[in-house]
Amino acid sequence: MTSITGESQGRRPTPVPSPQYASTGLDVWTMMNQVAASVNAVNLGQGYMSFPPKEFIKRAAQEALVESTHNQYAPPRGRPGLLEQVGIHFANRLSRPIDPSSELSIHAGANEALLSVFTAFLEHGKGQEVILMEPAFDQYTPNIIMSGGNPVYVPLRVQAGDKDPSKEVISSHDWKLDMNELEAAINENTRIIVVNTPHNPVGKVFSREELEQIGDIAARHNLLILSDEVYEHLTYGVEHISIATLPGMWERTVTVGSAGKMFGVTGWRVGWSVGPAELIQPTLSAHTRIVFTSNTPLQEGVASAFRMAKENDFLKIQCQEYERRRDRLMAIFDDIGLPYVVPDGAYYLLVNAKAIKIPSDYSFPDFIEERGENFKLVYFFIKEFGVSGIPPTEFYSEPHKHLANDYIRFAFCKTDEGLDEAAKCLQSLKRYLQDTS
């Protein structure tokens, strides 16, 4: 006889989790960080800054914490001071007036802003689809699925003319989106196209022509554009263009940004969404049910950081510092003899490591072996050379993972000392290089 508690013959039933979250496998960030820690490797993997924020940014947060009124709930839309500053920033960025009371929402990081948009515009059980351009940031897919949607993947493809990416340096602009392939992926169930520019992990900054073509396709099929522009302030010799500035695009675009990326404070978890009131209101409604509000003192800290950044010419100086770090990391791989993709934006370098010869008898743990060749390549890199990266196959769906098998993603949001140490560690790599001809 079964008891009222569900026990039968001495066995107690256990709750069953959702299949989506039943797996106990490590996420790629935790996995590679643990491997790196096991050999005390230089961590060029995860995209967090290994240097402290500027003093005026830290001081802004400290001063916000002292004010008693900054320690209670903020309005779900956001603190007035931060809404004002983000509104000023985007009025300049988008060359249009922004109403902070209706066209902005503050979020618990850009990732929560993305989730709020997906939640607001996708319905469960309707088979609605979202177009992602691969490689695609790994949070997009689970956010879409949690919101009831189905991700559909269209890869960027290398078109570098006569250049062989396994032997020669190429540009991030050589990674092209086939517009015919994009349009062929659209059907009556498609609701959203996600645009990421500057792009993680390629570093591609989409050109005006490319954005116009994407915009034309979105307009033709009446699709929402979700534009992830968290690296908007980090471009090197090229112009970042927000797709919302193109004719007819403001009305169908939600633009997402990040204080963590802008001010080097990824742990603060403050982001925002910007767009017409008709798109931001449902996004805000979803945000209110997901987290209710973002933390108050750090919203005030970001507002102060915005104000002081203008006085310090911070964003321009920061971009120059990142460009110097980028050039330093590229020089390291030039010296070693491994080609890479020159990023026009963001702070990642994709290195083509096809020339590395892993010994045939090299032993890999099961948790690496089961994830495929790219994970094995990165694991070997960490264990043997003491420098960690991220396997970019994690940014691809299964049918397209082969496109990234030869690459490793490195982050250059690191100290000079860290990059110098990586240069020393990587000297031992040369003995593993083979002729790829």
pLDDT in tens, 330-339: 999 999 999 9
| Phi (first) and psi of residue 180, to 5 degrees | -65, -40
Query: Token pair for residue 412?
Result: 């250059």
What beta strand segments (E) does 234-305 contain?
A: 253-258, 271-274
Q: At a CB cut-off of 8 Å and minimum separation 6, what does 174 contact?
A: 158, 159, 160, 163, 341
Q: At a CB cut-off of 8 Å and minimum separation 6, what does 181 contact?
A: 154
Query: Token pair for residue 379?
Result: 């694991």
Query: pTM for this one?
Result: 0.93
Running DSSP on this structure, what letter comes out for residue 320? H
In sequence order, the β-bridge partners of residue 193 are 131, 225
**Rounded to an integer, what distance in angstroms lies between the CA atom of residue 311 and that of residue 56?**
11
Number of other CB atoms surrounding residue 358 within 10 Å: 17
Query: Token pair for residue 352?
Result: 């083509």
Query: Token pair for residue 236?
Result: 């090197």
- C-alpha to C-alpha distances, 275 to 113, 229, 251, 289, nearest whole angstrom: 12, 13, 8, 20
Q: Answer positive or negative: Cα dihedral of 384, 385, 387, 390.
A: negative
Closest alpha carbon to 49 in 39, 60, 58:
58
Q: At a CB cut-off of 8 Å and minimum separation 6, what does 223 contact?
A: 131, 186, 190, 191, 192, 193, 217, 252
Q: Are 37 and 415 in contact (CB under 8 A)?
A: no
Which pLDDT does position 1 carry in this prediction?
45
| Single-letter amino acid, residue 124 | H
Average pLDDT over residues 63-77: 90
pLDDT per residue over 87-109, tens digit each? 999 999 999 999 999 999 999 99
DSSP codes joined into one string, 158-213? E--TT--TTTS-EEGGGEE--HHHHHHT--TTEEEEEEESS-TTT-----HHHHHH
Average pLDDT over residues 285-312: 95
Q: Is residue 264 over pLDDT 90?
A: yes
Average pLDDT over residues 366-385: 94
Q: Which residue has the tokens 């691809």?
A: 396
Q: Is residue 411 over pLDDT 50?
A: yes
Which pLDDT does position 435 carry in this prediction?
65
